Structure 1
Amino acid sequence: MTSSAHAPQIQVVAVVGPTAAGKSDLGVELARRLGGEVVNADSMQLYRGMDIGTAKLTDAERGGVPHRLLDVWDVREAASVAEYQRLARAEIDRLLAEGRTPVLVGGSGLYVRAAVDRLEFPGTDPVVRARLEAELEESGSGVLHARLAVADPAAAAAILPSNGRRVVRALEVIEITGRPFTAQLPGPGEDQSLYRTLHLGVDVARPELHERIARRVHRMWDAGLPEEVRTLESLGLREGRTASRALGYQQLLAAFAGDCTEDEAREETIRATRRFARRQDVWFRRDARVHWLSGAVADRAALADRAWHLLERTVTS
């Protein structure tokens, strides 16, 4: 089946799920079969030089399939979901105009929805933002996250307590609009799709996923993550409000500052990544459009075939 056969029914395929579930490999295989391209929806893979710690696929692992929206931002830049939305839709529209299928791959739930749903992002208020950032500096992200948990529990569940920048943004939107930060997202049973999108979720039982995460973090260390972080530190990583908070990078920066040992940073990265995976799972489970497929070890070889069969059934139904 070619990509043109899918065009009338399915325009975009989105591969989502928690970290280490196997999304990247599935995305490559589906893009290969469809004759399409992968469009990145992992917020940290947009940063140049953040390769090992974000599990960015190597050229060999991409198998000749073009990958878009990697290495876009400098590590000193603050991430912007509104800017990502503009970039992602430009790539999606380009591919559709060429008669090719975009395969959106990533675990950043808000980025996925920004790309394919009718979402508008409120502007910013410099006075409100400055006050909240001052509170963040004085009290820490945990205090602000606790406030967010009262104002918008769904947003608090999706945002790590340590991610002060995103906590501040959520509280800013709530104050500016008078509505929950998550009010911009489609509600249960409400489809605000901009494109005809097939959402595929890769599901892995928690014990197996926890083991995969631990193995992945150990591989990252062995592959030279500390050296990568040292290099990026010299390029301004510490000044980057977003990039400096990335899993593994944040913990190693703390180790380099003498706050812990590198071994302790490694173990904390495993724990923090497991917590992050739970939040990703909660986020995507709220979206009834996601078709979940097992990514367990016993099923992994057949994962792409099951996804393909689901795609075919969706097209012909």
Structure 2
Amino acid sequence: MKALPEGVDIVTIYGPTACGKTAVACRLAEMLGGVVLSADSRQVYRGMDIGTGKDLGEYRLSDGYEVPYRLIDIAEAGERYDLHRYLQDFYDAYYELPMEQPKILCGGTGLYISALLGGYQLSDVPPNMELRAELEQLSLEELRARLLSLGGVAGECGEGSNPRRLVRAIELKESDSVLTTSGSDTHKGLRGPIFCLAPSREVRRARISSRLRARLEAGLVEEVEGLLARVPKEVLLGYGLEYRYVTEYLLGERTWEEMQQGLEVSIHQFAKRQMTWARGMERRGFDLTYIAPLEDPMETAEVMMASIFGGEKE
């Protein structure tokens, strides 16, 4: 185990979907003898494996080393899971780990990462059923406009095409609940380098298209079909991206071609929003180090090691 430099609580790896975050995090974890803590809003759900890109095989390295991880498969599909619950689960996992064990925060949900690194807290606002009934009558565009009118911004962490997340964001804004810096000493912002994997636009698009084909071949449709047997369709539609488009296909609302093409376009748009979130973090004072991922995840992890330890070689 290699201790992180003094003053570093955690190493963060962020980036757009399909940029290889998990593979790099696992190589870095092996070098450090560390543990990976997921920051993905959908990988928390059991049974949602292919569509969320859990890539659990990445945690079993070719040399036989198994990378420990947390915050994956901790909720049932269909359960309500939000930022408030994630923060609770994260800190439970974080403080259960040995203090000296290096920790790597890895994921593409920018809101979760910003909340942890900024030491934010979110008041526990109960559902407002009257407001929800009103909002359910609105279109996506109307929901986005409503949130914007309240000072919120839709789309930067995936909620722009997710009615359930838009409704919850409006609910929080209507109650004057905002994400703010914690006034207590319970959870300070986590300190450490923030790496953003930033492949070129051409590479990113090629990876997204290739991965979508692989997921469809791996049984994505069958995974969603199984979920439909136990999870209400409205909930699956609310998970967005793969689960929304494949559910609509299974319900006969899209042809195979419409599902595949529409999903690919939506994933590309989502990746762009993830990079928009990264730039927003910089505007809010976070210091991000952008890295173009190399072909070999180990080489990318070595670049991070050199940055973390100031060029020190092992």
TM-score of the pair, normalised by structure 2: 0.87
Q: Alpha carbons of 1:239 and 1:222: their partners in 2 closer, same or farther (altered >3 Å)?
A: same
Tell me the distance in 1 between the aligned counterparts of 2:192 and 2:231.
38
Contact persistence 2:23–2:297 (CA under 8 A): no
Deviations 1:1-36 (A, max 9, x none): x432x2523121110011111111111011111101
Q: CA RMSD in A?
A: 2.5
Tell me the distance in 1 between the aligned counterparts of 2:248 and 2:208.
21
Matched, 1:70 2:77: no
Tell me the distance in 2 between the aligned counterparts of 1:250 and 1:53.
10
Which residue of the partner structure matches residue 103 of structure 1?
104
Tell me the distance in 2 between the aligned counterparts of 1:314 and 1:270.
39
Q: Alpha carbons of 1:85 and 1:58: their partners in 2 closer, same or farther (altered >3 Å)?
A: same
Greater percentage in helix:
1
Contact persistence 1:125–1:176 (CA under 8 A): no
Q: Alpha carbons of 1:280 and 1:134: their partners in 2 closer, same or farther (altered >3 Å)?
A: same
Identity of aligned residues (%): 29
Which residue of the partner structure matches residue 89 of structure 1?
91
Amino acid at match of 2:248: A
Deviation at 1:244, TM superposition (A): 4.3
Amino acid at match of 2:198: D
Tell me the distance in 2 between the aligned counterparts of 1:169 and 1:273.
22
Tell me the distance in 1 between the aligned counterparts of 2:151 and 2:257.
36
Tell me the distance in 1 between the aligned counterparts of 2:288 and 2:188.
13
Which residue of the partner structure matches residue 145 of structure 2?
146
Contact persistence 2:144–2:154 (CA under 8 A): no
Match among 303, 306, 309 for residue 300 of structure 2? 303
Q: Alpha carbons of 1:314 and 1:94: their partners in 2 closer, same or farther (altered >3 Å)?
A: farther
Q: Which runs of 5+ in 1 are unaligned?
A: 187-191
Matched, 1:266 2:260: yes
Match among 190, 199, 213 for residue 204 of structure 1? 199
Q: Which runs of 5+ in 2 are unaligned?
A: none
Deviation at 1:167, TM superposition (A): 1.1
Contact persistence 1:15–1:23 (CA under 8 A): yes
Tell me the distance in 1 between the aligned counterparts of 2:214 and 2:154.
32
SS at match of 1:248: helix
Match among 14, 32, 52 for residue 16 of structure 1? 14
Deviation at 1:215, TM superposition (A): 0.8
Deviations 1:230-276 (A, max 9, x none): 111112152536x7423211101111111111232121111111111
Matched, 1:164 2:163: yes
Tell me the distance in 1 between the aligned counterparts of 2:58 and 2:173.
44
Q: Alpha carbons of 1:244 and 1:163: their partners in 2 closer, same or farther (altered >3 Å)?
A: closer
Contact persistence 1:21–1:202 (CA under 8 A): yes
Amino acid at match of 2:240: A
Amino acid at match of 1:102: K
Tell me the distance in 1 between the aligned counterparts of 2:152 and 2:126.
23
Q: Alpha carbons of 1:52 and 1:310: their partners in 2 closer, same or farther (altered >3 Å)?
A: same
Tell me the distance in 2 between the aligned counterparts of 1:130 and 1:239.
16
TM-score of the pair, normalised by structure 1: 0.86
How many pairs were matched up? Answer: 301
Which residue of the partner structure matches residue 123 of structure 1?
124
SS at match of 1:138: coil
Q: Alpha carbons of 1:132 and 1:213: their partners in 2 closer, same or farther (altered >3 Å)?
A: farther
Tell me the distance in 2 between the aligned counterparts of 1:291 and 1:237.
41
